[in-house]
Amino acid sequence: MQSSLIGKIEKANRYAEERARIKFSDFTVTFAGDNNTHTTSYSDGQWHCSCSFFPKWGLCSHTMALQKVLAGMLPEEALSPEIAEKLGLS
């Protein structure tokens, strides 16, 4: 293996361990819920989900689960302090 590739692999492993380096600005995922599959996204500082709960509340179990999974990799505005506390993230 080329030494330059070995260096890149080592750097990638270090970056993967230093999650604070990563900040998501927008993304879309397919979330397999208990009752249906939903499209959940974060874009332009706003969460969105195709589940029926989200339009009324502006949050749902799918968006909160992603906030917990991506803790430390989301911009501050992606998580309210109240939700962070309830998810055990603060």
Neighbour-count burial of 67, counting CB atoms closer than 10 A to its CB (0-12 exposed, 13-18 middle, 19+ buried): buried
pLDDT for 87 equals 79
How do residues 16-40 score in pLDDT, each as one tens digit?
Answer: 899 888 888 899 999 998 889 999 9
Domain residue spans in the chain? 22-86
Tens of pLDDT along 51-73? Answer: 999 999 999 999 999 998 988 88
pLDDT at 2: 75
pTM, two decimals, is 0.79
- pLDDT for 1 beyond 70: no
